[in-house]
Each structure stands twice: as C-alpha cells, then as structure tokens.
Structure 1
C-alpha cells in the first residue's frame, strides 16, 4: 500500500505481491485485487485475507526477478500494461535501504517516474 502526492493531490495505490525463491533468484509476482475488493476499498486496514487458491496472477505485470551480488539484491521487470503503456521497475535491496525506480511510458514518452530512485532507509 503506497501513498503518493502529485501536484497537491494525494492518492493511494494498493497491490498484493508474493516473493518466491526460485533457484538462484527471487521472483516477485503481482496478483489481481482479490474478489470482493476494488481499487477504492482494497487497503491494509480493510483486507481480511483471501484464499491463496482463489488469487489470480496479474495478466499485465511481468514477474520481476532479483539476483544477489555480494550483500545486494537487484533486479526488476518491464511490463506492457497495454499496447502503448509500458511500466518499468528496478529495485535494489541492501541491509540498510531499498532503492525503487518506476516509470510509465505512453508511446515511448515518460508520463510517470523520476530520474533518481526513491530511497527507503531502514530505521534501526
């Protein structure tokens, strides 16, 4: 569940992900919002759980793969949400922080994203 502000308006974005170990990598899978919820009411506070067998993998999100190099996990994916809408994800995990770069492009023109990654620092 993420909250972000753009031009004075704060929005939320809720997703359901699963991290899975797969040979020498970690695979990140995105699921569709579970039945009984929608984009407006699917939040951490309202989610009461779901049957794993009933979850549906996102048809739009290509799984992201992360590989370890030293003490760092790094990877991502590129997904075509529509024939003209491309979503790119790159993440880098260390013990002390998470770096996230996301961008959206429509017909090759960036419509969302930043030149520098968002850095989340671990508070000990």
Structure 2
C-alpha cells in the first residue's frame, strides 16, 4: 500500500511541476503515472551507476553534480515516456528541483 501512495504522490508532484513550468509538458494522468513508474525504475537502476561513475566530479563539485544526474534522468524519462516532454536541460533541472520539493512536502502531509 505504501508503494501505491508513493507513486500517487510522485504523480501529483509531476502534474504540479508541469503546471508550474512552461518547458515541461505532461498530457494527462496516465502519462504522469507512467512517468512515475519509469522514474522509479531509472532511479533504482541507472542513478546508482551514474553516481558511482561520477564520484570524483561529485566530490569536486561538493555534490552539486547530483543535480545534473537528476536532470539527465528526467531527460531520459522524457525520451522513454509518451506524453511527457521536456524542452531542454534547464527545464529538466528545474523540473527535478520542483518535483523533489513538491514530493517532500506531499510526503510530509500524506506519508507516515
């Protein structure tokens, strides 16, 4: 049950972020649900590999390079998910930030 609530929180946060940011487009609830599933898979499989491969750069930038990795994962999700488009790297970076903040707030409200 917790996984379903987490996915619905990410769906709501994605829809909110696409509403706030003009460079990010989600066509509907189903696309947002598929996006949440794809982001979960990418964050579980691809993100740890990228973080491991970029440890020196991450240390050099004091962790700020992790924002770049998040934006790259958002752009990869944009290439995979039909109905979800990101206009560029900057929009992916902003979407990642808005998504993280919104998810944290909604998780505090509706999570355990």
- Give TM-score scaled by structure 2 length: 0.31
User: Which has the larger share of helix?
Assistant: 2
- Give TM-score scaled by structure 1 length: 0.29
User: Which has the larger share of strand?
Assistant: 1
Which of these two proteins has the greater Rg computed from alpha carbons? 1
